[in-house]
Structure 1
Amino acid sequence: MTSKMDNPPPYEDALKHPQYDPNQLPHGSVDPPPPSYSPGMYASPPGYWGQAGMWAAPGLSPSGMPGTIPTLCAGVPATNPREMEDFLSTQWESTSVRHAFIRKVYLILAAQLTVTFSVVAVFTFVDPVKMFVIRYPGIYWASLVVYFIVYCILICCKEPRRRFPWNLVLLGVFTVALSYMSGTISSYYETKAVFLAMGITALVCATVTVFCFQTKVDFTSCGGFLCIAAILLVILGTVTAVVLSFHYVPWLHMLYAAIGAIVYTLFLVYNTQLLIGNRELALSPEEYVYGALSLYIDIVHIFLFILQISGSATE
């Protein structure tokens, strides 16, 4: 509340008898004159407001410009040598892990192919073994059943982190089964046709591997196309089996074998790029059994299809 004596005079009296001049102060007055208004300037305690209406807060220089350049990472300067070293070391570690993974896969694959072609050589050069397989074809069908069962188990078992490496044991059983099946099939062809199929398969695999490590084309995004090609290959194989049983169109067998070799060559390109890991899709470094299994199946099927073509050509 205010007293009556403190009330200001009426408006007309103040105009006729002004008692206060803002530009003149009475003698002996202690109070400073009220500050005049100017754009961008505010009368405030020093250090609270900056020049030209800019905040003088922490993080801003007196000129109103930020002291540090903002970056995408909140609270991290644009140049941090320690973080750059950590990033490079992480990149190096991931590259070294991928290289170790590739070496492990190809070592397993080399062991598998050594076993397979050794068994094929036995069934090709040893005449008693060849005649035994031809006489008892049920052994071939038994190996085919074991091949499919173990393959399905290995597809569902990708993690190697166990006390006992059951997946490697299953991979060994699968290798023996597929090697025996390939040997029984090779026993029906001449030795010259088998050697020719081995040489062409080795040339195709070497060319595909070099191509996958050098090209920038991403084949891992073509998984749907490869699935459709595999389904068409199965349909064509069924039609070929039915047609050849009636001894019609004998050249259809070679056409089916040529298409099968091409399809599995594309599968080899796809699985090799999954192994490399610098494409849209990649295998985890823990899936070395699955990587070796995929490449092994592709190479063996390429050999079997080329063997059909070379066997028909030699006949």
Structure 2
Amino acid sequence: MTSKLDNPPPYEDALQHPKYEPYHLQHGSADPPPPSYSPGPDMYAGPPGYWSQGGMRAAPGLSPSGMPTTIPTLSAGVPATNPREMEGFLSSQWESTSVRHAFIRKVYLILAAQLTVTFSVVAIFTFVDPVKMFVIRYPGIYWASLVVYFMVYCILICCKEPRRRFPWNLVLLGVFTVALSYMSGTISSYYETKAVFLAMGITALVCVTATVFCFQTKVDFTSCGGFLCIAAILLLIIGTVTAIVLSFHYVPWLHMLYAAIGAIVYTLFLVYNTQLLIGNRELAISPEEYVYGALSLYIDIVHIFLFILQISGSAAE
């Protein structure tokens, strides 16, 4: 223990009475005094006027009044967001949105042209009796259109990228549209006019409702590709079994059941492909693949029409 006399004097007394010697000199300590603090010439260097009016040296990031000049960020070592970078990001987002809107308009213009051709051909095969009887008399024409349909479809799937010099994909799309329109017309010729008109109206209502639903809903159907693939396989199996059964004995309710399942499956495909077209979901179609986008929607709509036509035709009988 040490007495009060051995204790060093207080800091205030040492400043007011310099007669007190430092503590290490009074007790004969061999330790040298600590060095005095003197900042180097480069430390706190700044532009002219760096000293404040009150004699206080302004530290980096502090104004002479002592308030910080910049707001610190939580991420150390990362510079604050540059306003120019933010403007560039917003402009790029706007450009991508405008490109997507132009892509959607182009796809729906192509789709409108395809549907116009298809339903015009269907009207010819429905209202013109000589053409209708010719197709019924020579069914080989229907099978030929079916072969062309599958061949051109496979070629278009393999050539999704647009050609720069000559739009061969648009030419193939036109051939495909004619083939599928002719096939739809030959199928429509076997049904009554009332059933064809009813199928057209229901198809238009279903397609408009599904499209509006895709643009309004927050549900992401693009993540259900595996489910739709399984549904397509099941539809193929059910269709094969139904064709075998109906070839021996026609069962109206079985035919209508298969047609209803097919219409539901292709309506789901229409929703899926429409959301791929919109582009604000998990998956999206590239803006360069406008032919593929129009082709997908066109096939879905035509198949919905054909399945509904089977239901309306069976109900009319």
Pairwise same-fold verdict (TM > 0.5): yes
CA shift digits 1:116-136 (9 cap, x unpaired): 000000000000000000000
| Cα 1:51–1:74 shift into 2, 3 Å | farther
* SS, match of residue 23 in structure 2: coil
* 1:87-126 → structure 2 map (5 Å cutoff): 87-126=89-128
Residue matched to 1:228: 230
- Whether contact under 8 Å (1:42, 1:53) holds in the other structure is no
Partners of 1:231 and 1:2 in 2: CA distance: 96
In the alignment, which of 161, 164, 172 is matched to residue 162 of structure 1?
Answer: 164
Partners of 2:215 and 2:18 in 1: CA distance: 96
Q: Which has the higher mean CA deviation after the structures are superposed, 209-218 or 55-64?
A: 55-64
Quote how far apart the aligned CAs of 1:70 are. 6.6
Quote how far apart the aligned CAs of 1:255 are. 0.3
- Whether contact under 8 Å (2:44, 2:59) holds in the other structure is no
Quote how far apart the aligned CAs of 1:229 are. 0.4
Partners of 1:184 and 1:242 in 2: CA distance: 22
| Cα 1:21–1:197 shift into 2, 3 Å | closer
* 1:109-258 → structure 2 map (5 Å cutoff): 109-247=111-249, 249-258=251-260
| Cα 1:18–1:69 shift into 2, 3 Å | closer
Partners of 2:110 and 2:11 in 1: CA distance: 105
- Whether contact under 8 Å (2:222, 2:276) holds in the other structure is yes
Structure 1 consecutive aligned stretches of length 4 or more whose deviation exceeds 3 Å? 1-77
- Whether contact under 8 Å (1:133, 1:140) holds in the other structure is yes
1:32 aligns with 2:32: yes
Quote how far apart the aligned CAs of 1:224 are. 0.4
- Whether contact under 8 Å (1:275, 1:291) holds in the other structure is yes
| Cα 1:275–1:53 shift into 2, 3 Å | farther
| Cα 1:66–1:311 shift into 2, 3 Å | same
Q: Which has the higher mean CA deviation after the structures are superposed, 53-62 or 149-158?
A: 53-62
Quote how far apart the aligned CAs of 1:114 are. 0.2
RMSD: 8.2
Query: Unpaired segments of 5 or more residues in structure 1?
Result: none
TM-score, structure 1 as length reference: 0.80
- Whether contact under 8 Å (1:123, 1:129) holds in the other structure is yes
Q: Which has the higher mean CA deviation after the structures are superposed, 242-251 or 221-230?
A: 242-251
CA shift digits 1:187-230 (9 cap, x unpaired): 00000000000000000000001000000000000000000000
Quote how far apart the aligned CAs of 1:151 are. 0.2
| Cα 1:9–1:26 shift into 2, 3 Å | closer
Q: Which has the higher mean CA deviation after the structures are superposed, 132-141 or 2-11?
A: 2-11
CA shift digits 1:276-295 (9 cap, x unpaired): 00000000000100000000
Quote how far apart the aligned CAs of 1:311 are. 0.3
Quote how far apart the aligned CAs of 1:53 are. 22
CA shift digits 1:250-288 (9 cap, x unpaired): 310000000000000000000000000000000000010
| Cα 1:22–1:46 shift into 2, 3 Å | farther
- Whether contact under 8 Å (1:70, 1:77) holds in the other structure is no
Query: Unpaired segments of 5 or more residues in structure 2?
Result: none
Quote how far apart the aligned CAs of 1:101 are. 0.3
* SS, match of residue 18 in structure 1: coil
Partners of 2:276 and 2:260 in 1: CA distance: 25
| Cα 1:243–1:70 shift into 2, 3 Å | farther
Quote how far apart the aligned CAs of 1:305 are. 0.2
Identity across the alignment (%)? 92
| Cα 1:8–1:283 shift into 2, 3 Å | closer
What count of residue pairs does the alignment treat as equivalent?
315
Quote how far apart the aligned CAs of 1:17 are. 29
Quote how far apart the aligned CAs of 1:81 are. 1.8
Quote how far apart the aligned CAs of 1:78 are. 2.4
Q: Which has the higher mean CA deviation after the structures are superposed, 192-201 or 12-21?
A: 12-21
Quote how far apart the aligned CAs of 1:35 are. 3.5
Partners of 1:155 and 1:231 in 2: CA distance: 19
Partners of 2:196 and 2:94 in 1: CA distance: 44
Residue matched to 1:284: 286
